[in-house]
Chain A
């Protein structure tokens, strides 16, 4: 393992969701491909995407995974876990005690497989952190809550977590910024996908206008929907245009400065890096120096989410993104 002297660049296997879902690779094959293409060694894996035994990984599987890590030379940095509270649609969420145990099961599995931290979610009510953090301390694994759109440093939920972090004052708790919360624009590739699905230019112009307005994501999606139905747009076109509301927000990229100190890992969210090495929607030139100069020495994992609307080659996108990150970090 390298000695960290600045931010490291790695990848989350989530970037290769299309290649995974179409069964082009099994887990050993995918990890070997990542290693062959030198897109690691630091990686993140979503427990519920790549591990069939999740949330309760057996000793046997954990041993096999460790062998695979050794063979490929990859470094399992982060395991993404989930706060699945609503197990019965339309009914009440599960009891707090069950949700706490659900987190502990996933922490235990991640630790057993050799991950050094987990990504967790704001769907975990903040008042349960005092019950989970001591367990993370006991088994020695860090937990980073993912600050994902529509969240950003100034969001009330982030502030509530920050207060709890101050109170608990433990090194095992931190942030995982996801840059989708501070996008400067809607990616052109996402608009192109909506065009391909039949959305017209006036609908996309209205989308761009409403996306920049204030309000919660679902409110803005509702606003666009109402306008679009009144103006004769088909529900399928509205659906194609509305994806942007749920995965991207346009908060100030400089706002990440407030979270640098407790950042333990980063999701380098991106949609497409062009031939000049510039990401379509997210202003990396502004964001990355905040973390570099703020002393962050963890990993920025390339997280290509274009697969939500596009079937471009994920490996090529990750290659471009990592080259861009290295260029900016070295500047």
Chain B
């Protein structure tokens, strides 16, 4: 995998205070507005996870995933991780799970281009 293809972040999967957060990296060479990034799918151990109530956390800020398409002036710095957060995870600390994530990027200066990126990793839930 090339560095630019990595979408599961170095910080992995964490469970704290009942909230699960998955670190994500932007699969592009430069920062992009969050509105041009689609968090297209998450499966854990092969089971699709509903993202209806998920939130995005980034750099001290957080917003519902459902509002992500409106974040036209919030930039995801390409060197940073953003976090996909779920408040009702059926996971426990210390367990290992297979996590499959899909992120689509729509570079805002290349009309019509959509690049889909998927990655599957076995991650240990950290506290």
Contact = CB atoms under 8 A, between A and B. Distances in A.
Interface stretch (B44-52, B93-101, B104-112): B104-112
Given A82-B109, A87-B35, A89-B38, A49 B29 contact: yes
Given A21-B79, A49-B29, A86 B109 contact: yes
Given A46-B30, A48-B30, A49-B31, A87 B36 contact: yes
A20 B79 contact: yes
Interface string B1-24: 011101000100000000000000
A88 B3 contact: no
Contact of B114 (A85, A87, A89): A89
A315 interface: no
Classify the secondary structure of B's interface with A.
loop
A66 to B, nearest CB: 21
B39 interface: no
Among the interface residues A14, A49, A54, which one has the most CB atoms of the partner chain B within 10 A? Answer: A49
Nearest to A52: B77
Interface residues of A, number: 30
B78 interface: yes
Contacts of A307: 2-4
Interface in A1-39: 14, 17-18, 20-23, 26
Given A23-B79, A311-B2, A121 B109 contact: yes
B69 interface: yes
B63 interface: no
Contacts of B72: 87-88, 94
For the residues of A in contact with B, the DSSP-based class is: loop
Interface string B89-127: 000000000000000001011110010000000000000
Interface in B65-94: 69, 72, 75, 77-80
A87 B109 contact: no
Given A52-B77, A309-B2, A86 B30 contact: no
A160 interface: no
A308 B28 CA distance: 10
A67 interface: no
A195 B44 CA distance: 32
B77 to A, nearest CB: 4
| 10 residue pairs, one from A and one from B, having the closest CB atoms | A84-B108, A89-B106, A21-B3, A48-B30, A87-B72, A123-B109, A48-B31, A52-B77, A49-B30, A86-B108
Interface of B: 2-4, 6, 10, 25, 29-33, 35-36, 38, 69, 72, 75, 77-80, 106, 108-111, 114
Interface of A: 14, 17-18, 20-23, 26, 46, 48-49, 52, 54-55, 82-89, 93-94, 121, 123, 307-309, 311
6 contacts: A20-B78, A23-B10, A49-B78, A52-B79, A88-B36, A88-B69
